[in-house]
Amino acid sequence: MTNFEPTLEYARSLDDVDILFSFRERFHFPQHDDADAIYFCGNSLGLQPKSTRYLFDKELNDWAKWGVEGHFQAENPWFSYQKPFSISLARIVGASPEEVVAMNTLTVNLHLLLLSFYRPKGGRYKIIMEAGAFPSDQYAIETQVRMHGYDPAEAIIELTPRAGEHTLRDEDILETIAATGDQLACVMIGAVNYYTGQLYDLKAITEATHRTGAYAGFDLAHAMGNVPLQLHDWNVDFACWCSYKYLNSGPGGVGGVFVHEKHGNNPDTFRLAGWWGNEESTRFQMKKGFVPSKGAASWQMSNAPVFNMVAHKAALDIFDKITMQVLREKSLKLTAYLEYLLKQLSHLSFEIITPPEPERRGAQLSLLFNKDGRKVFETLTSQGVIADWREPNVIRIAPVPLYNSFEDVYRFYEILRELNL
């Protein structure tokens, strides 16, 4: 990937041989001056699949036609609407279908999973997370710790980059886990850091955590549909995610959870009980006494929010037509081309704080500006680039391999090249 060229013709030549290029036509792009905007914000909200409206109309028609009978008579019966998603989600996270389920939203699911896997007792009460995690993770862990009667300042260990560095070193993460030892109850880290774009070594973190006797879990918000995962083989205990970023399932789209089969198939694993988590064969007997379903499905609270899941179906239908390996191969090349072009821009004062090693990042590059960052962002916006500004001075750029092209990346570079601040 070192023989790139900073020309439009070269970018188009890469698109000509891109086997995913046609997938771009499956999405709606925001418009700018009667043309597709350069959309690099899929790490915040993915684009709308064009099939979404058709699928919404189908469910609206079935609701009108069947009323309550649609739970069983609709073309996609609402009673089991979420079940097929588990097959698709299992492929994306590297799990069995019984280990995953689409339900709720991310932070709700994180709380439910922490109730199961952050179970402090005696001297084992500490939880490790990354410093500067997304606020929802910070708030969830802080309140879970307080609920168990501990002081967050004492119970929460935050992983911080070394002085003068922007990202965490793998060895520092593993050393902190080992040093915490039998005081450690749980590790819960965002698999890809939302701010820097750093991808952590989930397999190594899980192994180190298990050596202490603790549980390992991850927030996959920025990893889901972005990087290859093998949660089952890595022996991860639990994970949760949202679906509106790289999975393109719409604003506030349904979230999901992974629970390793060793926990999900163990009825003694604590979980909050809900009607839809009860064993399906006895669910409508309306009896006392919660009997958990097999696997991750037993963490469900309520029946499927069908109209929230329609966009999820549209998105997963697209993911069913590709593999994460193919997606990752393009992503590596697309992000590398972006990095190459950015390094040609000596007239702008910024540094890329995302790790340079391809295996330590996903589709996102975070640009830390020393000056004029806000002006650069506003200029990009005025010229049809949709990116993301993060205080105090970072622009996040995410070329999503499912719908972004090499020409998108080049035209972004072209705009920056012509800036005169």
Per-residue pLDDT reduced to its tens digit, 373-383: 999 999 999 99
Which tops the pLDDT comparison, 288 or 94? 94
Mean pLDDT to the nearest integer, 338-358: 96
Q: What is the CATH number of domain 82-303?
A: 3.40.640.10
Q: How far apart are CA 121 and CA 155, in angstroms?
A: 12
Mean pLDDT of 194-217: 98
10-40 pLDDT, tens digit each:
999 999 999 999 999 999 999 999 999 999 9
Q: How confident is the model at residue 2 (pLDDT cuts 50, 70, 90)?
A: low
Sign of CA dihedral 17, 48, 411, 387: negative
Provide, rounded to the nearest whole percent, the portion of the chain with pLDDT above 70.
100
Q: How many other β-carbons are positioned within 10 Å of the β-carbon of residue 355?
A: 18
pLDDT at 281: 84
Q: Provide mean pLDDT across the span 119-129.
A: 97
Q: What is the mean pLDDT of residues 204-222?
A: 98
Does 117 have pLDDT greater than 80? Answer: yes
Q: Where in the chain is the domain with CATH 3.40.640.10?
A: 82-303
- Listed in order, the ranges of the chain carrying CATH 3.90.1150.10 are 8-49+324-417
CATH 3.90.1150.10 is the classification of domain 8-49+324-417: yes
Task: Say what the pLDDT of residue 283 is.
Answer: 82
Computed over every residue of the chain, the mean pLDDT equals: 96
pLDDT at 357 over 80: yes
Is the pLDDT reported for residue 1 higher than 90? no
